[in-house]
Amino acid sequence: MSAKIARYLAEQQPETPCVVIDLDVITDNYKTMKRLLPLAQIFYAVKANPAPEIVNVLNEQGSSFDTASRGEIDLCLGLGAQPEKISFGNTIKKERDIAYAYAKGVRLFAFDSEAELQKLAKAAPGAKVYCRILMECSGAEWPLSRKFGCAPEMATDLLVKARELGLDAYGISFHVGSQQTDLDQWDVAVGRAAAMFSALQKANIDLRMVNIGGGFPARYRAAVRPVEDYAEAVMSAMQKHFGNNIPEIIIEPGRSMVGDAGVLQAEVVLISEKDYEEDKRWIYLDVGKFGGLAETMDEAIKYKLVTPHDGGATGPVILAGPTCDSADILYEKTDYQMPINLAVGDKIEIHSTGAYTTSYSSVNFNGFPPLRTICI
Catalytic (active-site) positions: 324
Nearer to a copy of itself, 3 or 324 (CB): 324
Backbone angles phi, psi at 249, to 5 degrees: -120, 135
Tell me which residues in 126-165 interact with a copy of itself (CB under 8 A): 134, 142-151, 153-154
Nearer to a copy of itself, 150 or 375 (CB): 150
Of the residues 116, 141, 187, 260, which one makes contact with a copy of itself according to CB under 8 A = 116
Cα distance between residue 108 and residue 130, in whole Å: 8
Nearer to a copy of itself, 53 or 95 (CB): 95
Burial (CB < 10 A; 0-12, 13-18, 19+), residue 326, is: exposed
Least Cβ distance, residue 128 to a copy of itself (angstroms)? 19
Beta strands in 175-303 (DSSP E): 178-180, 209-211, 248-251, 262-272, 281-285
Contact between 258 and 355 under an 8 Å Cβ cutoff? The reply is yes
Build a one-symbol-per-residue string for 70-89: x at contacts with a copy of itself by CB under 8 A, - elsewhere: xxxxxx-------------x
Nearer to a copy of itself, 2 or 112 (CB): 112
Tell me which residues in 163-192 interact with a copy of itself (CB under 8 A): 178
Burial (CB < 10 A; 0-12, 13-18, 19+), residue 370, is: middle
Q: Is 361 in the site for a copy of itself (CB under 8 A)?
A: yes
Backbone angles phi, psi at 358, to 5 degrees: -60, -40
Contact between 171 and 206 under an 8 Å Cβ cutoff? The reply is no
Q: Within 10 A of 133 (CB to CB), how many other CB atoms are there?
A: 23
Nearer to a copy of itself, 30 or 360 (CB): 360
Nearer to a copy of itself, 151 or 246 (CB): 151
Least Cβ distance, residue 55 to a copy of itself (angstroms)? 11
Measured CA distances, 276 to 272, 280, 337 (Å): 11, 11, 19
Least Cβ distance, residue 27 to a copy of itself (angstroms)? 23
Tell me which residues in 11-50 interact with a copy of itself (CB under 8 A): 45-47, 50
Of the residues 9, 328, 349, 353, which one makes contact with a copy of itself according to CB under 8 A = 328
Of the residues 61, 113, 138, 236, which one makes contact with a copy of itself according to CB under 8 A = 113
Least Cβ distance, residue 357 to a copy of itself (angstroms)? 11
Tell me which residues in 332-351 interact with a copy of itself (CB under 8 A): 332, 344-345
Q: Within 10 A of 216 (CB to CB), how many other CB atoms are there?
A: 29
Backbone angles phi, psi at 168, to 5 degrees: -95, 105
**Which among 262, 154, 252, 271 has a CA at the least distance from the CA of 209?**
252
Count residues near a copy of itself (CB under 8 A).
Answer: 80
- Give the type of residue at 299: E
Task: Choose one: 185-193, 242-250, 334-342, 352-360; the region binding a copy of itself (CB under 8 A).
Answer: 352-360
Cα distance between residue 179 and residue 184, in whole Å: 14
Indicate the SS3 state at residue 280: coil
Task: Choose one: 54-62, 227-235, 305-313, 361-369; the region binding a copy of itself (CB under 8 A).
Answer: 361-369
Tell me which residues in 263-322 interact with a copy of itself (CB under 8 A): 267, 269-276, 282, 284, 286, 290, 294, 297, 320, 322
Indicate the SS3 state at residue 176: coil
Burial (CB < 10 A; 0-12, 13-18, 19+), residue 10, is: exposed
Least Cβ distance, residue 76 to a copy of itself (angstroms)? 10
Nearer to a copy of itself, 39 or 343 (CB): 343
Task: Choose one: 3-11, 61-69, 215-223, 229-237; the region binding a copy of itself (CB under 8 A).
Answer: 61-69
Least Cβ distance, residue 239 to a copy of itself (angstroms)? 29
Least Cβ distance, residue 85 to a copy of itself (angstroms)? 17
